[in-house]
């Protein structure tokens, strides 16, 4: 080495131990220097030369990848490189003047390795779909690799700066205009901060994949109920993901205890005072209901009815299967159960009506009665009638996926049940006439058609029939006539055909 302020001999450099920061006389460790020789070891106890040390540090800074670093040092193995870097740099064995790495609780108190703590699939959340694929579009323009969105929150924020122009200092209003421009820039910065805040909320709470978010919230439909957790979601931005989940889990557990108490109270009203008696009662109740159903089926069979057999018929009567009634459902613990009277509970149980829905319909009828003074049966039927204009529609492909899922659940269950003829025929029909084979394609087609402001029945008809031309589409769905230009409608139909052709 040579010092640019005063020349040093090779012996002086060795005595100074320049790499360790030793100073001697007028030679200071902050003086400018240049490297003349780099074939000497920089640290004690190693055969690595200073040249190799520089290559190592530069390549780590450049690549950050051990495979590429190893290519820069072909005479060293990857294990050698890692061991050398850890020992002399990370552990600071080469010099105590190297920057120290901040210690954390995990680095000081090592935790034992627990296998299977997380699934491999969780590391790929959200999934990294390739651009221009159906899965990529289903993420609503989110780029996982960059953690960014194609359409930003508050996308018009940059418009504030688009009209700003530079002002000449000689302008008499220079100070005023400059202050106004600074205020505009400050406003823009505040909007950027708000944009980053919403990104941080989405990232920290895992709100990218909406399908999983909805599945997570549906878990609380019975205990917390939907109206409550929809209001609680607004406060998600003020707490961490763990805190918000703890809040929901606490309310969920409270709801479960409430349901359990309601069930125990109902059993106590029947004179049951122990859990063993309760289990026996529920088992006998299930057996009783099963026997009742079998008895109804027996009475419905004319060939087994003694009153019919006592008559002289020349031919055997065919088996007459009567339409079975609805099986009562268990409504204990459902939203609104505690607000019902005993007679209302029995009514909801027999007609298979959710208590909260019954209460809503009841309030509508009471309000109408107060408004009109009385209410006729015809008016009540009209009020409670389902509004088909706003009814939801399912595609044949979606129905097929639901039936397949139900079939798979039944096959994996311990007590496999036999499906009815209606179920199997519907499954066969949907399998034959479905147009799309996976959820990604169905979601992409739905999103495409929803952008065109179609009626729900028009949307379902186009997706189920998949016409290839505008003439065919308008003949099958007459309401499309006059609402869309042929070029626009044809572009939609072509896009659907493209999605059908590339689905897997």
**24-63: pLDDT as tens digits:** 677 776 777 676 778 888 888 888 998 899 999 999 988 8
* pLDDT for residue 14: 47
**156-179: pLDDT as tens digits:** 888 888 888 888 888 888 889 889
Is-contact 127 434, C-beta < 8 A? no
Cα(115)–Cα(118) distance, integer angstroms: 8
Across the range 370-388, mean pLDDT stands at 75
SS3 per-residue string spanning 378-412: HHHHHHHCCCHHHCCCCCHHHHHHHHHHHHHHHHH
Ranges 92-96, 271-275, 400-404: which has the least confidence: 92-96
* pLDDT for residue 115: 59
Q: With CA atoms as reference, report the closest residue to 75 among 45, 55, 99, 98.
A: 55
Q: What is the pTM of this model?
A: 0.44
Category of 359 on φ-ψ map: left (φ > 0), alpha (ψ -120 to 50) or beta? alpha
CATH classification of 396-502 is 3.30.365.10, yes or no?
no
Q: Return the CATH fold of 325-385.
A: Arc Repressor Mutant, subunit A (1.10.10)
Is-contact 166 475, C-beta < 8 A? no
Q: With CA atoms as reference, report the closest residue to 443 among 388, 486, 503.
A: 503
> How would residue 304 be classed by pLDDT, with cut points 50, 70 and 90?
low
Across the range 330-339, mean pLDDT stands at 79
Percent of the chain residues past pLDDT 90, beyond the cut: 12
Q: What does each C-alpha distance from 270 to 263, 330, 338 come to in angstroms? A: 11, 16, 18
Most confidently predicted of 107-111, 125-129, 265-269, 403-407: 265-269
* pLDDT for residue 320: 45
E strands present in 367-488: none
For the chain, which residues make up each domain, given as ranges?
Answer: 2-108, 127-254, 271-312, 325-385, 396-502
Ranges 259-263, 377-381, 471-475: which has the least confidence: 377-381
Across the range 200-210, mean pLDDT stands at 82
> Exposure pattern of 461-500 as b/e (b: 16+ CB <10 Å)?
bbbbebbeebeebbeebeebeeebeeeebbebbeebeebe
Residue 487, pLDDT > 60, answer yes
Q: With CA atoms as reference, report the closest residue to 94 among 15, 194, 167, 21.
A: 21
> How would residue 475 be classed by pLDDT, with cut points 50, 70 and 90?
confident
* pLDDT for residue 119: 58
Across the range 106-112, mean pLDDT stands at 69
């Amino acid at each position: 080495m040579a010092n640019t302020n005063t020349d040093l001999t090779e012996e002086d450099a060795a005595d100074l131990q320049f790499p360790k920061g030793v100073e001697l006389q007028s030679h200071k460790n902050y003086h400018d220097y240049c490297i003349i020789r780099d074939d000497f070891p920089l640290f004690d106890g190693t055969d690595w030369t200073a040249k190799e040390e520089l290559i190592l540090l530069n390549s780590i800074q450049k690549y950050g990848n051990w495979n590429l670093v190893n290519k820069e040092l072909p005479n060293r193995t990857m294990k050698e490189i890692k061991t050398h870097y850890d020992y002399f740099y990370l552990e600071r064995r080469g010099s105590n003047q190297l920057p120290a790495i901040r210690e954390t609780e995990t680095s000081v108190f090592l935790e034992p390795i627990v296998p299977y703590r997380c699934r491999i699939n969780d590391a790929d959340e959200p999934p990294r779909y390739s651009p221009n694929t159906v899965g990529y579009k289903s993420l609503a323009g989110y780029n996982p690799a960059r953690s960014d969105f194609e359409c930003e929150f508050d996308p018009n924020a940059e418009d504030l700066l688009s009209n700003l122009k530079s002002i000449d200092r000689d302008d008499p209003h220079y100070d005023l205009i400059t202050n106004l421009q600074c205020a505009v820039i400050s406003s823009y910065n505040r909007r950027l901060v708000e944009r980053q805040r919403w990104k941080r909320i989405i990232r920290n709470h895992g709100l990218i994949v909406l399908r999983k978010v909805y599945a997570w919230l549906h878990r609380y439909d019975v205990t917390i109920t939907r109206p409550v957790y929809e209001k609680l979601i607004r406060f998600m931005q003020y707490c961490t993901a763990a805190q918000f989940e703890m809040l929901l889990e606490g309310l969920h557990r409270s709801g479960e205890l409430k349901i359990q108490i309601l069930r125990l109270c109902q059993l106590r009203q029947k004179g049951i005072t122990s859990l063993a008696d309760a289990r026996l009662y529920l088992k006998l109740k299930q057996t009783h209901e099963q026997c009742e159903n079998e008895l109804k089926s027996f009475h419905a069979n004319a060939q087994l009815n003694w009153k019919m057999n006592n008559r002289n018929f020349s031919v055997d009567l065919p088996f007459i299967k009567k339409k079975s009634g609805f099986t009562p459902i268990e409504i204990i613990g459902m939203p609104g159960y505690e607000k019902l009277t005993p007679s209302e509970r029995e009514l909801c149980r027999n007609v298979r009506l959710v208590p909260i829905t019954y209460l809503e319909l009841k309030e509508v009828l009471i309000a109408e009665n107060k408004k009109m003074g009385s209410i006729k049966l015809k008016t009540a039927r009209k009020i409670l009638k389902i509004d088909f204009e706003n009814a939801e529609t399912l595609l044949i492909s979606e129905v097929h996926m639901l039936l397949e899922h139900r079939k798979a659940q039944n096959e994996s269950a311990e007590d496999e049940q036999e499906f009815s003829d209606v179920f199997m025929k519907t499954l066969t029909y949907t399998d034959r006439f479905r147009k799309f084979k996976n959820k990604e394609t169905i979601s992409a087609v739905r999103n495409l058609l929803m952008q065109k402001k179609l009626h729900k029945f028009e949307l379902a008809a186009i997706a189920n029939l998949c016409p290839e031309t505008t003439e065919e589409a308008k003949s099958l769905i007459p309401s499309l006539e006059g609402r869309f230009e042929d070029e626009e409608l044809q572009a939609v139909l072509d896009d659907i055909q493209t999605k059908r052709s590339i689905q897997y």
